[in-house]
Amino acid sequence: MIAGFCALGVAELVAAVVRPEAGPVTAVGGAVIDRTPPAVKDFAVRNFGTADKLVLQLGILALLAAFAMAVGVLALRRRRLGAAAVLVFGAVGAVAAVGRPEGRPGDALPSVVGALVAAGVLYLLVGRLAPRTLPPPAGETEVRADQGTFDRRGFVIAATTAAAASAGAGYLGRRVTASVQAGASASRGAITLPVPDSAAPAVPRGADLGIRGLSSFVTPNKSFYRVDTALVVPRVNARRWRLRIHGKGVTRPLTVDFQDLLQRELIERDITLACVSNEVGGPYIGNARWIGARLADLLREAGVKPPSKGGAADQLVARSVDGMTIGTPVEDVMDGRDAMLALGMNGEPLPFSHGFPVRMLVPGLYGYVSACKWIKDIELTTFDDYDAYWVKRSWSRQAPVKTQSRIDTPRPFASPEAGTVPVAGVAWAQHRGIARVEVRVDGGAWQTARLAAEDSRDTWRQWVWEWPATTGSHTLEVRATDRTGATQTGRRAGTVPDGATGWHSVVVDVP
Ligand SMILES: Nc1nc2c(c(=O)[nH]1)N[C@H]1C(S)=C(S)[C@@H](COP(=O)(O)O)O[C@H]1N2
Ligand SMILES: [Mo]
């Protein structure tokens, strides 16, 4: 266990110099995420929510501890073999790190150095545990081992030194990482968001009904859901950030930096972002006020035409600094909607966890086909030629947001008093808009809810229905109709491959 601890401490220090993502636990965790089947990923998101990453890393540490003990027992019998087994673990970490989408040969270093140190520590420590040899008794030539004693003092000193040194190395590694990342934080702190050329209209009064228990119309950055595969949040220095636009049908390849982007014509828009992994009634949706540059403007500058105007590329693949790939229809980006490269979220630069310095947003599409965070590259290609990250993992190539609605209050199994009870929630059909929301009790007739004022077609909409609640157990259900006239289906479907369907229902008990 001490040798294993040394490996992690030393690897942390080396990773600080190479890059934080190359640490063995992060690398193995990332490799596991890349290979997790959709059903298991969905299970993890459902049961652990945003804590899924912590659970994964604790799991890896627990497995490592178990292996460390097994290797230790082996080393007591076969010292060399035990030390060699440690190197095998180093190899696993190294292969995982180099094999990540953005992996480089140097990423093997933390695992390799960590394993070499651990093998040495194990070899030395086990040596101290070896039985002391006694001089042969008079008249005999055989050297005998005294099974009862070993170099206890030597072992304790060596073990304590090794543990302290590796804790020190780990701590130092953390400090080095923090100072490297300080540059990114400073670059974020130095940004003053410009006044947008096209401001968003004020949120209409009455868009937020202000009902207790109902999600606020604007989701604060701190409580905005986070879904990504990054075990370490990328910290990109805005001063060094570049975005390249290239590929099929691009006649003038473009590279823009953050300063260029700030000086472009900027738009400000309210857009509701939703995750395809959101189950009926789930929390993975939020609404924010974003500032950014129109993506269509940049594409036109690069000479890109949409397929409907004879363009050669029908798919735009966004790549992030952490190797995520997200494929979006070029037609949707260029059809006049407010698709953007966003740099501001609710009045501040993007938070690191939401894609600082720049992310993509396309109203009306689920995040996994539109909302690339920490973006660094846009390649024009076709859906025939390339499948992005989630498409390779059995999600759909294209995924417009499905019309959905959610009851926020009363909460499941609440006990509201008999009388008038406000049943309220949110409904969304980004880029189509919400036309109607209905509620029913115990499978009875659908009742029309009162809609809050509409901000835009790209945002969710609050609703409320005053329920004359009577004593007993009741089931409340909600359904929405979008502005195309389509009512959301009651047929239950899971999130894979293109978003959940069904009516959200809540059971309450009126005493
Ligand atoms: N680089 C990167 N961008 C990403 C993802 C990711 O894993 N990596 N996840 C996508 C998914 S599935 C969603 S739903 C949105 C979530 O954005 P948020 O975390 O800001 O809410 O980001 C998208 N962009
Ligand atoms: Mo998502």
Find the distance separating the first CA and the last CA of the chain, reported in whole Å.
Answer: 56
Q: Of the candidates 348, 335, 178, 344, which has an alpha carbon nearest to the alpha carbon of residue 267?
A: 344
Ligand 1: which residues within 6 Å by Cβ? 224-229, 273, 275, 320, 322, 324, 354, 367-368, 371-374
Distance CA 279, CA 285 (A): 10
CB atoms within 10 A of CB 306: 20
**Ligand 1 centroid – CA 50 distance (Å):** 12
Mutate to test the pocket of ligand 1, among 228, 289, 345 (most ligand atoms within 8 A of CB): 228
Cα→Cα distances 456→28, 267, 271, 289, 507, Å = 43, 15, 8, 12, 31
Tokens representing residue 366 in the block: 């689920």
**Ligand 1 centroid – CA 277 distance (Å):** 11
Are residues 331 and 306 in contact, defined by beta-carbon separation less than 8 angstroms? yes
Per the prediction, the chain carries an average pLDDT of 94
Q: What is the pLDDT, as a whole number, of residue 130? A: 77
Determine what percent of the chain falls in helix, strand and coil, rounding each to the nearest 5: 35, 25, 35
User: Does the pLDDT of residue 84 top 80, yes or no?
Assistant: yes
Atom 2, ligand 1: which residue's CA is nearest?
Answer: 373
CATH number belonging to the domain at 221-393, selected among 3.60.20.10, 3.90.420.10, 3.20.20.70, 3.40.50.150: 3.90.420.10
Tokens representing residue 5 in the block: 């601890």
Question: How does residue 147 score in pLDDT terms, banded at 50, 70 and 90?
Answer: low
Counting ligands in written order, which one lies closest to the CA of residue 236?
1
135 versus 465: which is more confidently predicted?
A: 465
Instruction: Respond yes or no on whether the N-terminal peptide bond of residue 234 is cis (omega within 30° of 0).
Output: no
CATH 3.40.50.720 describes domain 404-510: no
pLDDT, average across residues 441-469 = 98
Q: Of the candidates 159, 67, 87, which has an alpha carbon nearest to the alpha carbon of residue 121?
A: 159
Distance CA 399, CA 22 (A): 32
User: Does the pLDDT of residue 132 top 80, yes or no?
Assistant: no
Q: What 3-state class would DSSP assign to 448? A: strand
**Ligand 2 centroid – CA 422 distance (Å):** 31
Among all chains, which residue has been given the structure tokens 């920490």?
A: 374
From the CA of 322, give the closest atom in ligand 1.
1
Are residues 202 and 43 in contact, defined by beta-carbon separation less than 8 angstroms? no
Q: Of the candidates 421, 413, 19, 4, which has an alpha carbon nearest to the alpha carbon of residue 184?
A: 19
Atom 16, ligand 1: which residue's CA is nearest?
Answer: 227
From the CA of 390, give the closest atom in ligand 1.
12
Instruction: Pinpoint the alpha helices (H) of 19-136.
Output: 24-35, 38-48, 52-77, 79-99, 109-129
Residue type at 170 in one-letter notation: G
User: Does the pLDDT of residue 144 top 90, yes or no?
Assistant: no
From the CA of 320, give the closest atom in ligand 1.
1
From the CA of 375, give the closest atom in ligand 1.
1
Distance CA 333, CA 305 (A): 11
**Ligand 1 centroid – CA 351 distance (Å):** 13
From the CA of 286, give the closest atom in ligand 1.
21
Are residues 112 and 90 in contact, defined by beta-carbon separation less than 8 angstroms? yes
From the CA of 354, give the closest atom in ligand 1.
20
**Ligand 1 centroid – CA 341 distance (Å):** 14
**Ligand 1 centroid – CA 431 distance (Å):** 19
Mutate to test the pocket of ligand 1, among 368, 402, 496, 498 (most ligand atoms within 8 A of CB): 368
User: Does the pLDDT of residue 306 top 80, yes or no?
Assistant: yes
Q: What 3-state class would DSSP assign to 320? A: strand
Q: Of the candidates 287, 298, 269, 303, which has an alpha carbon nearest to the alpha carbon of residue 461?
A: 287
pLDDT, average across residues 66-74 = 94
**Ligand 1 centroid – CA 231 distance (Å):** 13
pLDDT digits (tens, 9 = 90+) for 148-203: 677 888 889 999 999 999 999 999 999 998 888 899 999 999 999 999 999 999 99
- Cβ neighbours of residue 15 closer than 8 Å, sequence gap 6 or more: 21, 22, 23, 26, 110, 173, 177
**Ligand 2 centroid – CA 276 distance (Å):** 5
**Beta 242-247 vs 375-381: how paired, if at all?**
parallel
Distance CA 313, CA 327 (A): 12
Cα→Cα distances 102→27, 322, 393, Å = 11, 6, 18
φ/ψ of 358, rounded to 5, equals: -140, 140
**Ligand 1 centroid – CA 78 distance (Å):** 48
Q: What is the pLDDT, as a whole number, of residue 233? A: 93
In the structure, ligand 2 is a single-atom ion and the residues with CB under 5 Å from it are 227, 275, 367-368
Atom 7, ligand 1: which residue's CA is nearest?
Answer: 228
Are residues 462 and 452 in contact, defined by beta-carbon separation less than 8 angstroms? yes
Distance CA 484, CA 487 (A): 9
Atom 24, ligand 1: which residue's CA is nearest?
Answer: 372
Question: How does residue 52 score in pLDDT terms, banded at 50, 70 and 90?
Answer: confident
> Residue 458 class from Cβ within 10 Å (0-12 exposed, 13-18 middle, 19+ buried)?
buried
Tokens representing residue 451 in the block: 């809609």
Are residues 86 and 115 in contact, defined by beta-carbon separation less than 8 angstroms? yes
C-alpha torsion 505→507→508→509, nearest 10 = 160
User: Does the pLDDT of residue 133 top 70, yes or no?
Assistant: no
pLDDT digits (tens, 9 = 90+) for 318-347: 999 999 999 999 999 999 999 999 999 999
Q: What 3-state class would DSSP assign to 464? A: strand
Q: What 3-state class would DSSP assign to 137? A: coil
Residue type at 283 in one-letter notation: P
- Cβ neighbours of residue 420 closer than 8 Å, sequence gap 6 or more: 466, 467, 468, 469
Q: Of the candidates 477, 495, 458, which has an alpha carbon nearest to the alpha carbon of residue 289?
A: 458
Mutate to test the pocket of ligand 1, among 373, 389, 391, 460 (most ligand atoms within 8 A of CB): 373
On whether the pTM is more than 0.85, the answer is yes
From the CA of 225, give the closest atom in ligand 1.
21
pLDDT, average across residues 210-218 = 98
**Ligand 2 centroid – CA 278 distance (Å):** 8
Rounded to 10 deg, the angle between the 38-48 and 52-77 helix axes is: 110
CB atoms within 10 A of CB 229: 18
Where exactly are the structural domains of the chain? 2-184, 221-393, 404-510
8-state DSSP, 397: S
- Cβ neighbours of residue 146 closer than 8 Å, sequence gap 6 or more: 131, 132, 133, 134
